[in-house]
Amino acid sequence: DFAGVSKLNSEVRKKICAAVYHVLLQSLREFPEAGGALIQDLARFPSVVRHGCNADSVRCILQSQPSHFQVFREKSGWSVRLCPGVLERIHAARQAQEAARRAAAAQARAIMAGQLRKRHPLSPSPVRRPPPRRFTVREWAGQQAVRFKGLPQLPPGWIRAQSATTGQIYYVNQHTGMSTFDPPREASPSPGGFVKPSPGGLAKHSPASLVKPSP
């Protein structure tokens, strides 16, 4: 839909790219093994819908930014993921932020411990609680009969997972890494060898997980 894209000004294109970037980034934070997001799912996000762009227009806009996005075709439809160079910069920035956060936290604990010892010499040091553990796809596959016992059976290749931040259940395709909050459904083959995505069963992040709405 290049004709529709040509009518959009550069500011709108930047906002759409920024919206997709943040959705994909949130998906990586929530589910690091996510393989990307379906563009037709991204086109339903409010931050994209408000600009009146359909999935084809969003795809054309993302394809015009090859230094940031990789647009590729799968059986379930057109998908997008962040470029490896972008991921490397994000990873380096994340490591620097984490190192700074740990240093600041250690300094704060040292100051607090010193103040507590002055007031209460016999009081114990504050207890440190470990962060919530995040499971891999393989680990979630082994948790299906334990955490999700009695729930309806999913199509082949799909498993359930649970957000570490909100506790909400979402669905992950073990073969593609795609994730979605909508229960997946069986897809029927379409002419040309591709598979038509079923309504409500597509990845929103990958993730939002791609981007996906954040769990």
What's the pLDDT tens digit per position in 157-185? 999 998 887 888 989 998 888 888 899 88
- Least confident among 6-20, 68-82, 123-137: 123-137
Q: Are 16 and 58 in contact (CB under 8 A)?
A: yes
pTM over 0.75: no
Dist. CA 38–CA 202, nearest whole Å: 7
Residue range 203-215: average pLDDT? 39
User: With b meaning 16 or more CB within 10 Å and e meaning fewer, what string describes 36-45?
Assistant: bbbbbbbbeb
CA proximity to 2, closest of 61, 67, 66: 61
Dist. CA 121–CA 192, nearest whole Å: 76
Given this model, what pLDDT does residue 126 score? 63
Given this model, what pLDDT does residue 49 score? 83
Average pLDDT, the chain: 76
What's the pLDDT tens digit per position in 82-110? 888 776 776 677 788 889 999 989 888 88
Given this model, what pLDDT does residue 71 score? 92
Dist. CA 56–CA 64, nearest whole Å: 13
CA 138 → CA 34, 166, 175, 177, 178, distances in Å? 13, 21, 11, 11, 14
What's the pLDDT tens digit per position in 36-67? 888 998 888 888 888 778 888 888 888 888 88
Residue that wins the pLDDT comparison between 74 and 87: 74
